[in-house]
Structure 1
Amino acid sequence: MKILVSLFTFLTVLFYCNSSYAHALWIESAPYGTVNQSHEVKVYYGEYVTNERDDIAKWYSDVKDFKLLVHVPGKAPVQVQLTNKGDHFAGSFQPTEQGTYFLSVVKAPKDLGGQTKYEFSSLMPVIVGKPGNLDYSAVKNPLQVELLNSINAKKGASLKAKITSAGNVVPNAKVSVFSSTGWGKEFVADANGVVTFEALWSGPYVLEASTFVEKAGEHEGKPYASSWQGSTTFLQVK
Structure 2
Amino acid sequence: MKILISFFTFLTVLLCSHSSHAHALWIESSSYGTLNQSHEVKVYYGEFATNERDQVDKWYSDVKDFSLMLHAPGQEPVKLQLTNQGDHFSGSFQPTAAGTYLLSIVKAPKDLGGKTKYEFSSLVPVIVGKSATLDYKNVKSPLQIELLGAANAKKGQRIQAKITSFGKAVPQAKVSVFSTTGWGKEFVADEHGILTFDAIWAGPYVLEASTFAETAGEHEGKAYASTWQGSTTFITVK
TM-score (norm 1): 0.92
1:162 alignment partner AA: K
Structure 1: gaps (5+ residues): 1-14
Q: Counterpart of 1:118?
A: 118
Tell me, yes or no, if structure 1 residue 92 matches structure 2 residue 92: yes
Letter in 2 for 1:120: F
CA distance in 2, matches of 1:78, 1:115: 33
Provide the secondary structure at the position in 1 that maps to 2:64.
Answer: helix
2:8 matched to which residue of 1? none
| Pair 1:182–1:205, CA change in 2 (3 A) | same
Counterpart amino acid of residue 209 in structure 2? A
Corresponding residue for 2:31? 31
How far does residue 74 in structure 1 lie from its aligned partner after superposition? 1.1
Partner of 2:234: 234
The answer for the alignment partner of 1:175 in structure 2 is: 175
CA distance in 1, matches of 2:88, 2:183: 22
Size of the aligned set, in residue pairs, is 224
Deviation at 1:149, TM superposition (A): 2.6
Which residue number in structure 2 is paired with residue 199 of structure 1? Answer: 199
Matches within 5 A, 1:1-80: 19-80=19-80
Mapped partners of 2:150, 2:237: distance in 1: 8
Is the partner of 2:130 in helix, strand or coil?
Answer: coil
Q: CA deviation at 1:131?
A: 3.0
Equivalent-residue separation in structure 1 for 2:155 and 2:197 (angstroms): 11
| Alpha-carbon distance between aligned partners in 1 of 2:135 and 2:46, rounded to the nearest angstrom | 29
Which sits farther off after the overlay, 60-69 or 132-141?
132-141
Give the drift of 1:138. Answer: 1.1
Pairing 1:138–2:135 present: no
Query: Are positions 1:157 and 2:168 aligned together?
Result: no
Q: Please state how far the C-alpha of 1:150 moved relative to its aligned partner.
A: 4.4
Report percent identity of matched pairs: 73
Which runs of 5 or more structure 2 residues have no equivalent in the other structure? 1-14
1:214 maps to a residue whose letter is E
Find the aligned partners of 1:79 and 1:137 in 2 and give their Cα distance: 19
Q: Given the alignment of the two structures, is residue 109 of structure 1 paired with residue 109 of structure 2, yes or no?
A: yes
Which residue is 1:12 aligned to? none
Asked if the contact 1:150–1:235 (Cα under 8 Å) also holds between the matched residues in 2, the reply is no
Cα distance in 2 for residues equivalent to 1:236 and 1:23: 21
Task: Tell me the TM-score normalized by structure 2.
Answer: 0.92
Whole-angstrom CA distance in 1 between matches of 2:21 and 2:146? 24
**Contact persistence 1:150–1:159 (CA under 8 A):** no
Cα RMSD over matched residues?
1.4
